[in-house]
């Protein structure tokens, strides 16, 4: 369950939709289940699932389909339960992340949420560690500008 919450969180950060995130996380685990013969042999099957979820979450079509399915579901069952949202400034941060190019957004989300190293993210995304660093650097510069925040820790002291 802990793994599911982690994948759900990643999908939520990248898609911006609670409903889409739930569907994306479910889809990622269903795919993993179907291909378990191959994925189960990996050192870290969880990383594979996070990669699938990260790819699904940045695909606009998939995200919209997942959201549409979830909203239909919601309407059909007339759920009235209110759902919480992120604090506004955290929501603003993830909105800015979602406006980044796809790879940059994935790198930021995986590094921030997964508490992973750049080597682990590189392995997960199938690119070099150097490319992860390039994406991260570009993303940090863009985010600092959009959110009007200083980049370095020194400025905070």
State how far the alpha carbon of 98 is from the alpha carbons of 80, 84, 128, in Å. Answer: 28, 20, 22
- For residue 63, how many other CB atoms are within 10 A of its CB? 22
Shortest distance, CB of residue 145 to other proteins, whole angstroms? 10
Length of the chain: 157
State the number of binding residues for other proteins (CB under 8 A).
57
Shortest distance, CB of residue 7 to other proteins, whole angstroms? 9
Binding residue for other proteins (CB under 8 A) from 45, 46, 55, 116? Answer: 55
Are the beta carbons of 105 and 71 closer than 8 angstroms?
no
String marking each residue 57-76 x if it binds other proteins according to CB under 8 A: --xxxx-x----x---x--x
147 near other proteins (CB under 8 A): yes
Q: Is 42 left (phi over 0), alpha (psi -120 to 50) or beta?
A: beta
CA–CA dist 43, 66 (Å, integer):
29
CA–CA dist 45, 104 (Å, integer):
23
43 near other proteins (CB under 8 A): no
Are the beta carbons of 103 and 135 closer than 8 angstroms?
yes
90 near other proteins (CB under 8 A): yes
Which residues would be at the binding site for other proteins (CB under 8 A)?
1, 4-6, 8-9, 12-13, 18, 22, 26, 55-56, 59-62, 64, 69, 73, 76-77, 83-84, 86-87, 89-90, 93-94, 101-102, 108, 112-113, 119, 122-123, 126-131, 134, 138, 140, 143-144, 147, 149-153, 155-156
């Amino acid at each position: 369950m802990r793994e599911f919450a982690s994948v759900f969180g990643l999908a939520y950060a990248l898609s911006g939709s609670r409903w889409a995130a739930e569907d994306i996380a479910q889809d990622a685990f269903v795919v993993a289940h179907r291909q378990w013969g191959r994925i189960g042999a990996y050192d870290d099957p969880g990383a594979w699932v996070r990669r699938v979820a990260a790819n699904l979450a940045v695909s606009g079509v998939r995200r919209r389909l997942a959201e549409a399915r979830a909203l239909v579901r919601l309407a059909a069952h007339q759920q009235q339960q209110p759902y919480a949202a992120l604090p506004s400034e955290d929501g603003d941060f993830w909105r800015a992340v979602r406006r980044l190019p796809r790879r940059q957004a994935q790198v930021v989300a995986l590094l921030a949420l997964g508490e992973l190293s750049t080597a682990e993210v590189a392995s997960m995304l199938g690119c070099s560690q150097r490319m992860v660093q390039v994406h991260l650097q570009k993303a940090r510069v863009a985010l600092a500008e959009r959110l009007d925040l200083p980049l370095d820790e020194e400025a905070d002291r």
